[in-house]
A and B are shown apart, each in its own frame.
Chain A
Amino acid sequence: MNDLLYMSATDALEKFRSLSLSPVELVEAIITRSEKIHDTINPFADRYFDEALNNAKIAEARYKDPDDRLGILEGLPLVVKDSTPIKGRRSTNGSLINKDRIDQHTNPSIERLLASGANLFARTTCPEFCWLFTCHSRMWGVTRNPWRLDITPGGSSGGSAAALAAGATTIATGSDSAGSIRQPASQCGVVGYKPPYGRMPLSPSNSFDPFVQIGPMARTVADAALMSNVMSGPHPLDHTALNDSIVIPNRLPGITGMNLAFSRNLGHFQLADDVEREFILSIDALRTAGAHVEELSLSGLDEIIRLSHGAQEFVAHEFLQEAIDNHPDIISDYVPELLETALSFNSSDFRKSTSLAGEIWQSHLGPLFQEYEALLCPTVSSPLVPAENWQKQKIAINGHPLTDTEMTMTGLFNLYSRCPVLSLPSGMTDDALPCGLQIIGRPCDDVTVFQIGAALEEIRPWASSSDNWPSLSSMTNT
């Protein structure tokens, strides 16, 4: 049973094709698991179980009919974040304000997943307006980490990450404007990919904001690559989509001789000892795989890291103010705090974020990526963020009281939006929680980050057996 729940997408598709597994069997197992963990983990927003069972039966028949044209992801269970629009379905963006909103349009990357046969059976929770690094709201309640119920699965794509770690889906999608794919992936010990801006076509509300990307979340590097290949590519209805198509090859070459750089803290962040230890073990693994890996002591990034968050806070003024003015009774209690933070960044900060971004790239990061094929750093300082944490609450890391924003090392590469970033599990902390690392590639060089990711996964696998994942009893024991 557990083998089914934690089966990779690539394995499942192979078994579908060889008829040794039916899409019905897989989705039934996942639905059963979903029901068992619903009350404790709570990863799902709207659920479409009956519809998904029907779709699985159709997929089953397709696999049996040799004449039928199969989609690449035919019958594969998929969950989509509740902030991403799908025509004719509800997406609330984690807010009671939108509890009756039915979308008129499907995000083009999701459209491609659906068109390739993925079986959408549920939506995943996010915090209100996707504006927390935890995952709770008045709309959907509290989502918890399958590895430890008092800890957050991260946010905003917390439901997707939690569902993957709980064996409650095969693949998932997330979105990331400051780390919302990568931080939850790190928290839950799964794979999250933030593609370069323009690689995956976006909905009209996001397509002109370079910070916001949609991306795959999965348990293996190969599954994330498979999804990425379906989701990516130019699109006539997204003006900002990149023009070239990139395919991540099935068989990625090794990384022998590759020139990599790493930074423990980007010259800015505090890092818990156990997270640092696991990060360095992962770096050692890449050396074992044959890469030249060099440690960099970065500095001068403090202001640009601050402004990389500020640029997104600046664009949040309007919708946060609107929510507070027009819907004071139904918004989550933490929304006024979000506005307060947002208003602390003004248009001067925004302008400075764009001008400084260009200057820092020219002086620091451009030359860095000229010399090295990728940069590695941890994803979070420490996973010890409580499930119900608010934005301004502080957590002590190495004796320093920090907010969860200050513990999340991702935002800089939303500003440097063309860099592909893959977040992978780097190991387990002393508290038996996963922690992650980021592989940051050169602008628009998606393939290299997958190549490095696959090499790391081979040496330090995290999903090689269902025993690597939290037990059902630990997830349901309140």
Chain B
Amino acid sequence: MNIDDLCYMSAHEALERFRNLSLSPVELLEALMERANLISNTVNPFADCYFEEARERAKKSEVMYVQRTAHIGPLEGIPLAVKDLCEITGKRTTAGSLINAQNICEQTSPHVERLIDAGANVFARTTIPEFAWLFTTQSRMWGVTHNPWKIGISPGGSSGGSAAALGAGATTIATGSDSTGSIRQPASQCGVVGYQPPHGRIPNIGSSSFNGYAKSGPMTRTVKDCAIMANVMSGHDYRDHNSFIEPVQIELNDQNLAGMKIAFSMDLGCYEVSEDVQLETNDAVRALRNAGAKVEEVSVTWAADLIDLALGNQEVLFAAFLNETVKKHRDIVSDYVPQLCQTANSYPAEIYHQSILTAGKIWLEHLGPLFQHYDAFVMPTTAYTDIPATGWQKDTVNVNGKQYTDTDTTMAVIWNMYNRCPVMALPSGRASSGVPTGIQIIGRPHDDQTVFQIANAFEKEKPWLDCLERRPVLTPKPF
């Protein structure tokens, strides 16, 4: 087996091979660590790395498989990269900030705990922008992370390191978190799979668990891997007041989408979508139709104000945090943080209340009826792909002759407002620059299964990363 096939092997296949002893967890991990070293100066997806520790852990996994130990976990020996925002006891978590350079965690986030308990081998942490608040991934803490498909272009943010590592074949699975698009936009940028579960499906503890916008979720290269991770990560945790009681387990099958009705919007009536993205999105719609779904384009008239309210809802909360933090640590925060502050403070506090009023009204009048008629909704994840890796929040790119920020081109936040909807971001193709494009599949509230079913059928029609021709050509030279 060539090393590239090992690096891009799905967790599902690796687990099968671990079990039939045609692959050792040590062998897989070594290949990934070699890949990680190869791209560390160019892509730079990793924060802290635990290679030695992971090697020891992989050897134990190997023994378990060889000795056919009883009760082997569903992810035993699978290399896992964890976002530098999720906590792990005894390890450092910085949230991309020098402020937290010495922050050793005293607890493990429940979703990570479940992955570790299932046997996943955390060998590295993945980079994020400072406070996870950019759609690019750069910080004074971790430097600039690049897109494995094109150095110089952003892998997206804030879960940019996780997406870049997956795209570069430097991890098998990864975690992300998403409060305005931070799983889905990086997944789109790097041509991988990102899943934003309904709020309450995957537990969070502590300070973020009462923010409905903020969710942790799996990032993978295949839909099947995403289902394996989601099944491990989801379910009630008594420490999270808002976690759902009802257990949901995804079951994938080979069913096509016959009888399925899907609504489609290219632009929600307000985003400026680049020609490349339009082309690939239309091709994705064709693929869904080939899989048997009835896809109907719907006209959306209600989104423009809602998007700003949804962003404002989070900016108001962020401002309250950021103003205090910046006051204390002005000298060590990244250069763009004062700009984040300015944006956050530009939203009046009343926008919070307006956002919840409007969210209810639009659901009642538009989205509720839409989801009564359609099983799911499909739209692009980003309107434009070629966001510079060093782009700041207010920097603009040219889309169809007009200037837009990366916030303007990220089509995600509305589904943080409607956070009971499960949303999966999937690759839809590649722009002419070579950078991937993506679609989102949005399900009815709490209907995770349908989203996975559509994604699974779509992947068969329009696969990605499954062969050399559909993988990035990696450049080991420093950029």
Contacts and interface: CB of A to CB of B under 8 A. Distances in A.
Interface of A: 105, 202-209, 236-241, 243-244, 314-315, 317-319, 346-348, 350-359, 361-362, 365-367, 369-370, 416, 418-419, 443-445
A239 B358 CA distance: 12
Given A204-B361, A347-B317, A362 B206 contact: yes
A361 B420 contact: no
B367 A244 contact: no
Contact of A236 (B244, B357, B371): B371
Contacts of A346: 320, 349
B256 interface: no
Contacts of A418: 241-242
A393 to B, nearest CB: 27
Contacts, number: 136
Closest 6 CB pairs between A and B?
A204-B360, A355-B207, A208-B356, A351-B320, A358-B209, A243-B446
Given A355-B207, A361-B239, A315 B320 contact: no
B4 interface: no
Given A237-B364, A240-B420, A362-B205, A357 B352 contact: no
A355 B318 CA distance: 12
A315 B356 contact: yes
B239 A236 contact: no
Nearest to B363: A239
B445 interface: yes
8 contacts: A239-B367, A346-B320, A347-B316, A359-B206, A361-B209, A418-B242, A443-B241, A443-B243
A358 B364 contact: no
A351 B349 contact: no
Contacts of A354: 207, 210-211, 317
Contacts of B363: 204, 207, 237-239
Contacts of B446: 243
Interface string B383-422: 0000000000000000000000000000000000010110
B326 interface: no
A315 B353 contact: yes
A208 B207 contact: no
Nearest to B321: A351
Contacts of A445: 245
Interface string B199-239: 00000111111110000000000000000000000000011
Contact of B205 (A206, A358, A365): A358
B369 interface: yes
Contacts of B421: 239
Nearest to B237: A366
Contacts of B367: 239
A97 B367 CA distance: 31
Contacts of A357: 209-210, 241
A407 B244 CA distance: 32
A444 B245 contact: yes
B352 A347 contact: yes
Interface in B423-460: 445-446
Interface string B351-381: 0111111011101110111011000000000
Residue from B316, B352, B360 whose CB has the most chain A CB atoms within 10 Å: B360
Given A347-B320, A366-B239, A370-B238, 4 more contacts: A318-B353, A347-B352, A361-B241, A418-B242
Interface in B178-218: 204-211
Nearest to A359: B206
Contacts of A362: 205-206, 209, 239-240
Given A243-B445, A355-B207, A358-B208, A208 B349 contact: no
Nearest to A443: B241
A244 B364 contact: no
Contact of B207 (A240, A315, A317, A359): A359
A350 B361 contact: no
Give the residue among B210, B246, B420 with the most A Cβ atoms within 10 A: B210
B345 to A, nearest CB: 10
Nearest to B365: A204
B350 interface: yes
Contacts of B316: 347, 350-351
Contacts of A238: 360, 363-364, 368
A237 B241 contact: no
B206 A239 contact: no
B418 to A, nearest CB: 6
Contacts of B134: none
B319 interface: yes
Given A206-B360, A351-B321, A366 B368 contact: no
A370 B243 CA distance: 14
A416 B317 CA distance: 19
A321 to B, nearest CB: 9
B372 A236 contact: yes
Contacts of B371: 236
Given A239-B418, A318-B353, A350-B317, A204 B239 contact: no
A444 B413 CA distance: 28
